[in-house]
Amino acid sequence: MKSLIITQEKYTPYISFNTNTNIFDIAGESYSEDAFVFYQALLKWLSDYLKVNQRPITLNFRLLYFNTSSSQAIFHILEMLEEYAEDGNVDVQVNWYAKPNDSSMMEDGLYYQDNFDALSFNMKTL
């Protein structure tokens, strides 16, 4: 399956889901009015990919800001990856990046970490 690359726009993040390395990156800002429309294609691609992939995955979140509707999409991505990790007994690493003084973004990462036990979370600084 081909990698998924989506160029960063004003309200949407850069997406690079590399199928050669199994390193997935989400970076930038995500505050589209209708984040569901943006993330719908990503979620469909991820669902299809997880059906054929059997290798460990690393997901890097390097978001500077995201809105509430984007947070719902992020939660759904993590739900899919947790199910994948549990069902296939495959390691999924999540690297959550935040600026050193961005306590809100760090708290968001800790919230996701608390909700997904099957994912290996690493809190990192940008």
For the chain, the straight-line distance linking the first and the last C-alpha, in angstroms and rounded, comes to 30
Helix (H) or strand (E) holding 5: strand 4-6
Query: How far is 65 from 39, CA to CA, in rounded Å?
Result: 16
In this prediction, residues 92-111 reach a mean pLDDT of: 97
- Report the pLDDT value the prediction gives residue 56, as an integer from 0 to 100: 98
Over the stretch 75-90, which tens digit does the pLDDT of each residue have? 999 999 999 999 999 9
DSSP E strands, 67-119: 92-98
Joined together, the tokens standing for residue 34 give 């209708």
Over the stretch 22-74, which tens digit does the pLDDT of each residue have? 999 999 999 998 898 999 999 999 999 999 999 999 999 999 999 999 999 99
Chain position carrying tokens 């009015």: 33
- Report the pLDDT value the prediction gives residue 33, as an integer from 0 to 100: 85
Is this prediction's pTM over 0.85?
A: yes
Question: CA 38: distance to chain centroid?
Answer: 13
